[in-house]
Chain A
Amino acid sequence: KNEVEQSPQNLTAQEGEFITINCSYSVGISALHWLQQHPGGGIVSLFMLSSGKKKHGRLIATINIQEKHSSLHITASHPRDSAVYICAVSLISGGGADGLTFGKGTHLIIQP
């Protein structure tokens, strides 16, 4: 059974700080996704990674396939970055279903 572990569970930081959220998983995957969930529930896909590194604005996501680990970084954090960040993986062999397996999320609060 694949487990997706995220850390930290909760993170409060000051505006401008560099933020790192980590994700580890236990089995082979075809892709890893970083998602952002706002208080109303809506979910936005930030990145999909199968190797290396991706950057979009102030967000950077990296993945190390050998170590089964990924990180999401936020540079120059802002209060509007406050949300739940979720790591999710697509398995290599879905066993019939091809949906995602999710981590529990990291609750991020950026204080002004």
Chain B
Amino acid sequence: GAVVSQHPSRVICKSGTSVKIECRSLDFQATTMFWYRQFPKQSLMLMATSNEGSKATYEQGVEKDKFLINHASLTLSTLTVTSAHPEDSSFYICSVRGFGNTIYFGEGSWLTVV
């Protein structure tokens, strides 16, 4: 069964609106979760590290005011894309480090901004 659950798997939103993506760790508590983005035919790129109870750490070039990350509990991190634009259309995926540093990925979320 899934270790990390991500929702929604697909979402279409209008330009200028906000959309929230959830990442849940089902089998263990996760003080740290990672958010990645993948454009078509490109590598996955780390966007930010989500830290439970504190501010997320963003990678260079990722706007923290546009991609809001909240990690309010040990099992849930959310990524909110604010004021979405068509260029934000992408595949977003989260991951969690489990026992023995094994990495578990969510199912991913396809975002289309129209």
Q: Which residues of A contact B (CB under 8 A)?
A: 31, 33, 35, 40-45, 48, 86, 88, 90, 96-105
Contacts and interface: CB of A to CB of B under 8 A. Distances in A.
Interface string B79-101: 00000000000010101010011
A105 B105 contact: no
B26 interface: no
Interface stretch (B11-19, B36-44, B64-72): B36-44
Interface of B: 32, 34, 36, 38, 42-46, 48-49, 57, 59, 91, 93, 95, 97, 100-105, 107-108, 110
A63 to B, nearest CB: 15
Contact of A48 (B46, B49, B102, B110): B102
A104 B41 CA distance: 8
B49 A97 contact: yes
Given A41-B91, A41-B108, A97-B59, A102 B102 contact: no
Given A42-B107, A96-B49, A101-B46, 13 more contacts: A33-B103, A41-B93, A41-B107, A45-B105, A48-B100, A96-B57, A97-B48, A97-B57, A98-B32, A98-B34, A98-B49, A99-B46, A103-B43
A41 B34 CA distance: 16
B93 A43 contact: yes
Given A41-B110, A43-B108, A97 B46 contact: yes
Contacts of A97: 34, 46, 48-49, 57, 59
Give the 5 A-B CB pairs with smallest separation, nearest first: A99-B46, A41-B108, A43-B105, A99-B34, A102-B44
A96 B101 CA distance: 17
